[in-house]
Structure 1
């Protein structure tokens, strides 16, 4: 059966009814597709709330708010997300979410660390040309590179200073898009931070396909069929081994076929449509998971489908989501042992980077970078559980089909030799793919609990960092809580302690502050050594206003 099969869809959505019913009972509306007038009213009232509570939000002269997202719950509760500017410059780490009731009364807030972004001057002492040259020199592994400095107010560390945020873009060793973001003090030239700008997962294993499935296609006027999903909107193309750095949405060739029968089901197939079958179907599963579970209408929640490319690069053993072209790119593996990178959790992982970018936009550095990767691991895994494919059996082993025995695992992340099971002050200095272990461990503990158990034939044994025993509540409930936290409460600078606060807020919304679900979420965070942090901001006279990190 397939993503387009109605009987399969009924079976799968029935498995998600518990989480969905809880969301409805809590009065939560999944979609942000509210009436224009209600949205405009919510934005106006949110701006007024920020102005009336200027000290709380650090809002003053020279600042402006840029609307990024609006979510209105079924009970009318409004959540308005803003980015902030100062003297027309983007404020990095100054984003905030205003939470207000159906009448526009301020209830709560979530704020990034940049509380007051005012700076003495917006004129840089270090010129753009000097900054661009230094940034190129600081990214020697990026080939055919270009350097684009942007003047910003840097407030991600809680202070405020004028800075250059320079993006170096080019190609990596395997021809994939590669980049580095270097942030420097605009007064002294001192480097503040540097991090990779690309979000990708690399596979090195043997991929399993999803068997004989039905896929959604479109019949054309000449009678042939094309890999255009008429429901979800995505198209699947052959990149003809064009290097990833050169791929644009208009690149490649759309797959067409005379009899609507695609591929041959073989690994390393000479039929180039075989990889396209998996890519097309797994993109549909990812879309359906977000749509049927959370009411999210596509990656950006705007109904637009992505472009999916297979056969990218030569021996490109990789898969990657690109916001720039709004496309998914998959390689053919290494041609000998590693097959096409189109398995369910890998594709769900990469496309979730697009969801994160469109919502909390967790910065790809430090703890927020680990949370970004963990979010993709979590929802990539949930896509696998949603599809419930007989070949790619659901598990808590990320990328086990394309990187046997697994690339990362949830029950004890440290088994890979690099990832963290427990939070510590050193976690933020790890590679984001390894600091993600804390979030993955939390997700497993909250879902399945601690100790030894076998699930779908796979043996797990999850320890706790505090010696406690944790009882899980099921991954559907935990995923619902995490999605609510990501889209409503988290901001670009959220840390693990902030993620605990955000997820407990989400659990309260969905299940209640005294619920078993709330207690399980809290217990799992404590078991991963993430303890609750106190807000450093003033309290609202009406309620405690929560910061997110």
Structure 2
């Protein structure tokens, strides 16, 4: 039995933070409003403030004469810092992709601005070449043509379609190329009784579809997984059932392959919106691990790097559990944009640990960026990238049931003796991985040649020598007997990700990885900075010079 994880990919996501702003009470005799009422009142005040500043801010931001800001939301921090969110119009038309957030100091001066799209809007005119009725008829006919066909692998076929309201003339700016467009709503019903409401945006010049999405009702469910324990899950309500489908993270979902090896499987759904019982005897338990792992990976990439899904296109992946029979592995398949988990020996040991989810899905990120060849030294870097990011997902999750560490797959027990699959602090402890580079590294299996980069990442994060981190003991050596202090895993991950997405190519080897990470460190922290020097010293410590 090979001790490896097959090629894989990664996710991430975004958390919504809400807070209550404290206010001083009025006269002592006045009744004290509830915290909820205080928050509502303060939000209304902040929103009114934003509306009042819409005009002056539009001028300050040098928007065109035809552009106006419309206050959408506002928040004020305890120190008085304001975050004013606006939608934008152009010649009275809604601008899709025109939203922005203005961050102000307490005195009203602008600190920074976050724009959905930086492109300047300057259209020659606002006269469409296609009439609204024609646009609506055309797009509705296009949706009707899909009756009887699935919209995707998890949706029931459409059985009924009709236009809802008139096509609305808008300015489409989301792709950075502002132009006139129509926004049309098409409603209908699916074969299983689920309502459908699709929003389509079409070019007002030629009728091409620019964007479409199905609006769906989501629900907050709970799950009890084998490895993740009891966790919240974002689910989707369909009739009386709740599905393991996450609309907020690109529609990513989890299905049961029922020990088969083909197809998309059966989407997990039940009427209680509570999934799994934490045991392998309940087929939903492994699904909870997979769904939560995918969501956490999405969140990690989103919050850490601003990446919107594996391909950075907002599209979620399919997770398939109970793959094959006695299948002791997990893998990512870019052709189906899906990841699959076996049930392990005797179908009683699913490989759904969270760092496995992060590892597998990060292969998809690599495929979408550097696309490192899966052989030789580039293959080792491909595998190491998944180990690095899978480890970071585990630290991001910080689960009590799976305390984060620098070991790979320590809970799935692929070795049968309770030991981890791989060790980042001293890779050779697994019996096959390389601690340091040599001329033969490229001839090793990619799961062993990855050891050089895994060792680099641990040393760059934590430094060398014996130490205990989060309750786990490590003792990391260096090729040149140097003593390293480490710069922290967060900075190390930023450097690796930038190198992967900016400098690595399909053929990058270890010498190229050294050059790429040094360039990344210079970009992020400055050439000659402590972080830059640490990257150089750490590569030397694993014999990459």
On whether the aligned pair clears a TM of 0.5, the verdict is: yes
1:212-231 maps to which residues of 2 (within 5 A)? 212-220=230-238, 222-231=239-248
Once residues 429 and 494 of structure 1 are traced to their aligned partners in structure 2, the CA distance between those partners, rounded to angstroms, is: 15
Tell me what 2:355 maps to.
Answer: 345
In the aligned structure 1, how far is the partner of 2:440 from the partner of 2:14? 46
Residue 276 of structure 2 is aligned to residue 259 of structure 1: no
- 1:212 match: secondary structure: strand
**Match for residue 514 of structure 1?**
528
CA distance in 2, matches of 1:4, 1:498: 32
3-state SS of 2:467 partner: strand
Task: Give the distance between the partners of 1:370 and 1:444, measured in 2 at CA.
Answer: 16
Distance 1:342 1:513 in 2: 41
Aligned length: 332
In structure 2, what is the Cα distance between the partners aligned to 1:397 and 1:36? 45
Task: Give 3-state SS (helix, strand or coil) of 2:319's partner.
Answer: strand
**Equivalences for 1:352-391 in 2 at 5 Å?**
352-391=362-401
Report the equivalent of 1:442: 456
Question: Are residues 1:319 and 2:330 paired?
Answer: yes
Is 1:497 the counterpart of 2:508? The answer is no
DSSP 3-state at the match of 1:300: coil
CA RMSD of aligned residues (A): 2.4
- Alpha-carbon distance in structure 2 between the residues aligned to 1:3 and 1:423: 35
Q: What SS does the aligned partner of 2:482 have?
A: coil
Structure 1 residue ranges without an equivalent (≥5): 10-30, 39-206, 532-549
Report the equivalent of 2:339.
328
**How far apart are the structure 2 equivalents of 1:317 and 1:383?**
22
Q: Would the alpha carbon gap of residues 431 and 458 (structure 1) be closer, same or farther in structure 2, given more than 3 Å must change?
A: same
**Could you tell me whether the CA contact under 8 Å between 1:238 and 1:310 is conserved in 2?**
yes
* Inter-CA distance 211–8: structure 2 relative to 1 (3 Å threshold): farther
Aligned equivalent of 1:209? 227
Contact 1:408 1:416 in 2 (8 A): yes
Q: Corresponding residue for 2:304?
A: 293
Alignment of 1:68-79 (within 5 A): none
Q: Pick the structure with greater CA Rg.
A: 2
Contact in 2 for aligned 1:3/1:215 (Cα 8 Å)? no
Q: Does 1:464 align with 2:474?
A: no
Shift of 1:367: 0.4
Per the TM alignment, residue 447 of structure 1 is displaced from its structure 2 partner at its CA by: 0.3
- Once the two structures are superposed, residues 18-56 of structure 1 have per-residue CA deviations (whole angstroms, 9 ceiling, x without a partner) of xxxxxxxxxxxxx9x966899xxxxxxxxxxxxxxxxxx
**Contact kept? 2:13, 2:308, Cα under 8 Å:** no
Cα deviation digits, residues 256-315 of structure 1 (max 9, x gap): 11010111111x21x211111111011000010001100111111111011111111111
Please tell me whether residue 421 in structure 1 is matched to residue 444 in structure 2.
no
The TM-score normalised by the length of structure 2 is 0.58
Q: Is the 8 A contact 1:208 1:402 kept in 2?
A: no
**Which residue does the alignment assign to 2:321?**
310
TM-score of the two chains, using structure 1 as the length reference: 0.58
